[in-house]
Structure 1
Amino acid sequence: MFERDFNGERLREGRIYRGFTITDLADELEVSKQMISKYENGKATPTFEALMKMTNVLNFPKEYFYEKPVKVKVGSTYFRSLLSTGKKEREMQYDRVKYISIIRSMLEEYVEFPELDLPSFSEEELNDVEYVAKKLRNYWGLDDKPIKNIVRLLEKKGFVLAALNIKKRTIDAFGSNQEVNGKSYYTIVLGNKKSFYRRQFDVAHELGHKILHDNNLDLDDLSREEFKQIEQEANDFAAAFLLPKEGFIKDVSMHPNNLNYYKQLKKKWCVSIGAMVMRAYKLKVLSRGTYDYMQRMISKNGWRKQEPLDEIKLLKEPIAMVQAVELLIENDYIGKNEFLHKLSHDYGLSLHRAEVEELIGLEDGYLHQTIDEQPENIISLKQIRQINDKTS
């Protein structure tokens, strides 16, 4: 897939990936904005010196700028904080999730991942979020049981999950529909690290978007009110999915007005106290007056930022692609260099080792080639003195 012609579209992609405007990159390369535009539109080719600066500034291998990657069809991408997240910050993430899907597609040449496993829903059913959540629970055999680790659950059901260090603090998580080589994926990217319990809700929220909303919905065309509506629907789904109506009512009704009791429920249901109080109110277990009072107490206790148990329970990270890479490399199905070469040659995606490690969630330095250990010596050199005695 390596081509000799400079790929201006790839320059644009890499620039946006790193969060550079045309002006930013022009300043770094010490050229005009017009020249950057010419590079990106294929009307000019950078000199060798400009190319070297480009690779350093954007931190991509030089091959990256000459490749044509495999086609990835991108559907709707749902950001939980769309209203407070600028277009620039959102665009920075689009290619990250695209690259994750490409790596997943390559790994599937070697490894059997679970296929995406979702029931079908009629248009009429999708209007009833409570019913949709219950149907999905039954389909997956969850019944009224708590979901102890939704990250692992969704990986087992064929979703692609990744955890990235996203500098923009407003991006909690987002989900994106992707199609690579004719196969559809739904990738959920976990952003800034919250507590285990809040992450549970974030993931369930993105699952709700996948089920409830049109894969080809253009979010930029939605009004502020329409966007708020689909966000509320995803929130309602997450609450209903994590806290099934019958099972949760049975538990919460014992001491619905006691916030200390919700600490115990939090251990069982693995959902934040704030989400459980909201769910109890919507299920009419709490009156409006009691709900308002409990919300004031949550604020007074400082639980908006951190709740009890948040500092104890460790975050659960995605493991499916990490396991796949380690399985291949540790069993010598593919070497570390070969892995990166195949990604470049067959999929048109040359990335530095550290970049791939971050996208997949591998331990830092895992893909760096190590020098083979020297074999145990069977022979040794004779002492110089013995050699000299024989030759004298």
Structure 2
Amino acid sequence: MEAIIGQRIRNSRIHKGLSLQEVADSIGVSKQMVNKYELGKSMPTSDKLIAISKLFNQKIDYFFRKSEVVIGEISFRKKSNFGVKKVNSLKEEIRIQIENYLFIENICNVSNAFENPLQDYAIQEEQDVKTAVNTLRNHWNIGQDAIHNIIELLEDNHIKVIEVDDDSKKFDGLATVIDGKYHIIVITKAMPIERKRFTLLHELGHLLLPIATLEEKQQEKLCNVFASEMLLSENNLITELGNQRSRITFEELKNVQEKYGMSISAIVYKLGETKIMSQERVKKFYQKLNFDAALKQSVELSRYDGQEHSIRYENLAYRAVSEELISMSKASSLLQISLDELNSKLTSNLR
């Protein structure tokens, strides 16, 4: 038990980005004693464990629960000044959420089997990616329709979406596979919705496309093509705006944005990529965007009117407590809400 509690304390400390000394000062013990807690060489007294739980904003039962998930190495596409401390903190946040997610799935006896319909594809160039996108859309029964809720689509197809807070604005998303079977995309919660949708699909490209042997730069490029084609295929773009255009109105771009949930800048880029517009025209658009304050504000204020938020985990937790598969206290811990708030939410349940 000491080892389990010790590991939980260490994980929580890393998650909060605190040093041994900072934890020691907060709970009123020595730095050496905190180190002993983490190594499982000493057990915190009840009052110290309460202090630790308050410091880390965790329920007491969290420190007694054995970790059932081991996350392998995960990589971040990040700015150069994204420090090791922040990376480790983010990894712990991801680990906590994934562990809770898998726990609640198992309690509810929900299948989490995932099938990758693109695993046997040979991907070397952009056209290969576009062909793969058509295969995936057909396999997931979405045809050429606009995707209104990407997170819902991913979770319906057994890909877990974890949303995290990142005030530093240096992290967008990542994709990882745990134990060779749990496919997970992690996304920053607060970002413009079009960027969020593009990032989700970019990470999906990393999960599904067999491109691990390619250079990193090429992988990123192909995943961008994958995201772009999933959001707005070349065929759909031609249908909406025509085969060739010398000029295009802002209202047309806004209408396409509202339908497909893709940023105006990304739509213009795709117009150039598909040669519907000349690269010279695309370049002029970006130049105008940089120097025309009114246009820049219009583009920044224009938003897709949709929702991209994961609710599956929350729904499973409410399902588990309403079916009495877990206790109220456990549900409160999993949902990170008080018992009073949980009671309030459950009073409206249908019985």
Q: 1:315 aligns with which of 307, 315, 328?
A: 307
Name 1:57's counterpart in structure 2. 55
Q: 2:203 aligns with which of 199, 202, 206?
A: 206
Mark the CA change 1:61 to 1:125 in structure 2 (over 3 Å): closer, same or farther.
Answer: same
Shift of 1:256: 6.2
Mark the CA change 1:121 to 1:67 in structure 2 (over 3 Å): closer, same or farther.
Answer: closer
Name 1:151's counterpart in structure 2. 151
Q: Find the aligned partners of 2:30 and 2:299 in 1 and give their Cα distance.
A: 48
Q: Deviations over 1:167-205 (max 9, x none)?
A: 3322233333223xxx72222233242233222112111
Asked whether the 8 Å contact 1:169–1:192 carries over to 2, the reply is no
Q: How does 1:1-392 map to 2 (within 5 A)?
A: 3=1, 7-46=5-44, 50-70=48-68, 72-75=69-72, 77-81=74-78, 83-108=80-105, 109-113=107-111, 115-122=113-120, 124-125=122-123, 128-179=128-179, 184-212=181-209, 227-253=216-242, 255=245, 257-260=247-250, 261-299=252-290, 300=292, 301=294, 303=296, 307-310=300-303, 313-330=305-322, 332-334=323-325, 336-337=327-328, 339-340=330-331, 353=332, 356-357=334-335, 366-367=341-342
Mark the CA change 1:200 to 1:371 in structure 2 (over 3 Å): closer, same or farther.
Answer: closer
Where does the alignment leave 5 or more consecutive residues of structure 2 unmatched? none
TM-score between the two structures when normalised by the length of structure 1: 0.73
Q: Deviations over 1:358-377 (max 9, x none)?
A: 5xxx899643589999xxxx
Q: Deviations over 1:285-328 (max 9, x none)?
A: 23221111111233334648963432x72433112222223334
Shift of 1:93: 2.3
Matched residue count: 341
SS in 2 for 1:233: helix
Where does the alignment leave 5 or more consecutive residues of structure 1 unmatched? 341-352, 374-392
Asked whether the 8 Å contact 1:114–1:155 carries over to 2, the reply is no
Mark the CA change 1:278 to 1:23 in structure 2 (over 3 Å): closer, same or farther.
Answer: farther
Q: Find the aligned partners of 2:76 and 2:267 in 1 and give their Cα distance.
A: 23
In structure 2, what residue type is equivalent to 1:11? I
Q: Find the aligned partners of 1:297 and 1:269 in 2 and give their Cα distance.
A: 24
Q: Deviations over 1:137-191 (max 9, x none)?
A: 2322333222122111111111112333333322233333223xxx722222332
Q: Find the aligned partners of 1:304 and 1:236 in 2 and give their Cα distance.
A: 27
Q: Find the aligned partners of 1:372 and 1:281 in 2 and give their Cα distance.
A: 55
SS in 1 for 2:186: strand
Mark the CA change 1:65 to 1:59 in structure 2 (over 3 Å): closer, same or farther.
Answer: same
SS in 1 for 2:286: helix
Name 1:346's counterpart in structure 2. none
Shift of 1:210: 0.7
Mark the CA change 1:5 to 1:295 in structure 2 (over 3 Å): closer, same or farther.
Answer: closer
SS in 2 for 1:313: coil
In structure 2, what residue type is equivalent to 1:19? G
SS in 1 for 2:342: coil
Q: Deviations over 1:258-292 (max 9, x none)?
A: 24121111122221111111122222223221111
Asked whether the 8 Å contact 1:126–1:212 carries over to 2, the reply is no
Larger radius of gyration: 1
Q: Deviations over 1:204-253 (max 9, x none)?
A: 111111113678x9xxxx9xxx5544333322221122121222233233
Q: Find the aligned partners of 1:304 and 1:204 in 2 and give their Cα distance.
A: 26
* Further displaced range: 26-35 or 55-64: 26-35
Name 1:383's counterpart in structure 2. none
Name 1:347's counterpart in structure 2. none
TM-score between the two structures when normalised by the length of structure 2: 0.81
Q: Deviations over 1:79-125 (max 9, x none)?
A: 44354532222222223322333333233332535642430433623
Give the alignment's Cα RMSD to 1 decimal. Answer: 3.5
Q: Find the aligned partners of 1:80 and 1:133 in 2 and give their Cα distance.
A: 23
Asked whether the 8 Å contact 2:67–2:99 carries over to 1, the reply is no
Asked whether the 8 Å contact 1:5–1:66 carries over to 2, the reply is no
SS in 2 for 1:307: helix
Mark the CA change 1:4 to 1:11 in structure 2 (over 3 Å): closer, same or farther.
Answer: closer
In structure 2, what residue type is equivalent to 1:317? H
**Greater share of residues in helix:** 2
In structure 1, what residue type is equivalent to 2:144? D
Name 1:385's counterpart in structure 2. none
Shift of 1:47: 5.2
